Amino acid sequence: MAGVVPTLILLMKTCAVDGIRLETVLLALGILTHDPISTKTISRTNSTATLIETVNAAQTENIVALTVWCLARICRNTEIANTLVKQNLGKLLMTKGLRAGWQTTRIAAWCLGVLIRSDSIADMLSDIGVVPSLGLQRRDLYAVVHISRSVKIAKALAKGGCMEMLAHCLDTSEDPGVLLWSARPVGDLMRPNSSDMAKVLLNAGVARELARFPSVLPTEEVQPLGAFAFAIQQFSCAKWGSGTRKALVDASVVDALLAALRTAADGLHPDIHIELANAIALLRDVGGTSIQKEIVNAGGIDILKRIGGLAVSADVTKACNQAATSITGNVWSQNAGSSLVWTLLIEELTSLQLLRRRLSLTNGQAVAPTTFLDPRYTANRVWSLSNVSD
């Protein structure tokens, strides 16, 4: 199919003159560009410059949105993302995409999130005003997920009202997609010893809202539970105090983690099992005896042993056994071991988790809602990030 791409590029240039059938050509091009070989062909021939010029010169929102959709699907790695940034796509998305109508703004925010493949790109976009350009509404969630991994932008997001938006989404929505993309940035906004960010999130009620996940999600929707677990892990990695511990206990986070583990236990979801087990282990290790008692009284050890015993993955068994050991008295716990060693272990674990998160966000598994990835969907279905309004 890669041989068709040059023909479509030529047709696009021809149709762009009068606009006739340009939408059809862009739709076909967008479907084909999800193929890695076709993507390389477009990048190698510098056809991305033509697409960017099409966005710049477009007179209708449909043309802008379809072209941006194509560019987002082309942006499959850091090398291509750097090329697109150098061709001024980031600035164009902010000045034209995010200031357009509802449908175009949504897809522009998604493309902006896809474009941010590294901290250096995030910092570059920060310097040209990416945070002020975002309306910080539900349509911007996917962009926030990516840009929040940059420490510089995370602070700007906090000042710009991002915490309140995330708290509102987590508190009011029952849509699995909205909950997933609201919980992920909560974890990404925090880093080891980031007590200030954790305090802001806790004051916004985020812990309590995360704890609703097991009760509001359908039993078959387990991916948001992984995002919930990751957020709790990051709370655990932040610098602790009695206030943080009390906030998590009062929010019933322990019960929610165990309920999530029970929910995910009935399916083959090894990644989710590991995330939840790690969250329980980290929470107990830094939470002291009060968290330990909460876990034990809620039957946490029995649940972990049951999941570990039934797991088909050795990694799940290992994670559950480690979590159970941590609850009953782990030599690596903060109470029994060196705080310096613990801090180093936490930072290493967090770095690996963030790396895996970044890879998982770019391997086609969780890059965006399936409406953007499945070529069976028509252009009219490509627009919506979620089926709920602000």
Average confidence score pLDDT of the chain: 77
Q: What is the pLDDT of residues 319-333, one digit of tens each?
A: 999 899 888 864 344
In 19-52, which positions are buried (b, 16+ CB within 10 angstroms) versus exposed (e)?
Answer: eeebbebbbbbbbbbbbeebbbbbbeeebbebbb
Burial (0-12, 13-18, 19+ Cβ within 10 Å), 13: middle
Token match 């995360």: residue? 210
- % of the chain beyond a pLDDT of 90: 21
96-99 long-range contacts (CB < 8 A, ≥24 apart) are: 96/55, 96/56, 96/64, 97/55, 97/64, 97/68, 98/133, 98/134, 98/135
- Look at residues 145, 125, 35 and name the one whose alpha carbon lies nearest to residue 82: 125
Q: For the domain covering 163-361, report its CATH number.
A: 1.25.10.10
Residue 17 confidence class, pLDDT cut points 50, 70, 90: confident
Please state which CATH class domain 1-160+377-390 belongs to.
Answer: mainly alpha
On the question of a common fold for 1-160+377-390 and 163-361, the answer reads yes
- Cα separations in angstroms, 326 against 123, 222, 240, 285: 38, 25, 18, 7
- Cα separations in angstroms, 215 against 167, 184, 218, 251: 17, 18, 8, 14
Q: What is the pLDDT of residue 257?
A: 92
Rg of the chain over Cα atoms, rounded to whole angstroms, equals: 22
Q: What is the distance between the alpha carbons of residues 12 and 29, in angstroms, rounded to a whole number?
A: 9
Within 77-120, strands assigned E span none
Angle ∠(127,129,130) on CA atoms, nearest 5: 105
Neighbours of 226 (CB within 10 A): 25
Between 182 and 20, residue with greater pLDDT: 182
Q: What is the pLDDT of residues 228-259, one digit of tens each?
A: 999 998 888 776 666 777 788 888 898 999 99
Q: What is the pLDDT of residues 117-171, one digit of tens each?
A: 888 888 888 888 888 877 666 666 767 776 776 777 777 888 878 888 889 899 9
* Residue ranges covered by each domain of the chain: 1-160+377-390, 163-361
**Assigned token pair, 199:** 């305090």
Q: What is the distance between the alpha carbons of residues 290 and 312, in angstroms, rounded to a whole number?
A: 32
Token match 């940034």: residue? 85
